[in-house]
Amino acid sequence: MGRVYTDYSFDSLNGFLTINTDVSDYYDDSYVEAYWEDSSYFHESFYDSTSFSFEFDVWDGGVFAHDISVENDFTGEIETYSEDYHVYVYASAGQSINGSGIRDIAFGSDFNDVISLGAGNDDAFGGAGNDYIDGGSGADVMQGQTGNDIYIVSSTGDRTIEYAGQGTDIVRAFTHWTLSANIERLELQGSANLVGTGNSLNNTIVGNSGANTLRGAAGHDYLTG
């Protein structure tokens, strides 16, 4: 197994990549860890300090599988993805993340981020802060995590995930939508005749300019067309 600590910078104008591997200054560094798990599985991990941001691609591994595993900080669950991905990880203040057009995985910072992922079946994790997350087209999984988050949904295949006590959250839906657990407000968008349904919380549900059907479900709800 090998591990290399690095400070790194990239000059996009001149094409220079600088890597500092000074072992006396590794506290805030990133490091890459790589080893053969067995004769057919090569494991690579990239660890980054809270002061850095980075992007990378996971592409076709040829004769080898190419997987990426993501651990959820809030539940401890680990999900593994086995397709081509572009991965965004941001730790610096308030980011605007625009998707690559393929399948993306985006991790926001601990500040207020704007995440717009475009085409593909994407996954977005907002982190702390009041985040704006738009999965774009495709069946997307969006987790705002802590803070007061706004989700833009355009497909019934989208999923929004919130956990209790993580803020007051809004879904703005361009399609029929039922609020998932722990989301407080639904705002229907566009002009189509949509159905909007609440959850067990005390919801606010706002219709659009079409002939909507609004259903509060459980709780003491406020409905307005």
Which pLDDT score, from 0 to 100, does residue 29 have?
A: 53
Say what the pLDDT of residue 139 is: 92
Residues 218, 128: Cα–Cα separation, whole Å: 29
- Which residues fall within 8 angstroms of residue 9, CB to CB, at 6 or more apart? 17, 18
Task: Look at residue 15 in the predicted model and tell me its pLDDT.
Answer: 46
- What whole-number distance in Å separates Cα of residue 209 and Cα of residue 28? 52
What integer pLDDT is reported at residue 90 of this predicted model?
55
Per-residue pLDDT at 48: 53
Per-residue pLDDT of the chain (225 residues; tens, 9 = 90+): 344 444 444 444 454 445 454 545 544 555 555 555 565 554 555 555 544 555 555 555 554 455 556 555 555 555 565 555 556 565 555 566 666 666 777 888 788 988 888 788 888 888 888 999 998 888 999 999 899 999 999 999 999 999 898 899 999 999 999 999 999 999 999 999 999 999 999 999 999 999 999 999 999 999 998
**What integer pLDDT is reported at residue 17 of this predicted model?**
46
pLDDT at 168: 95
Domain encompassing residue 189:
2-224
Q: Please state the domain count of the chain.
A: 1
pTM: 0.69
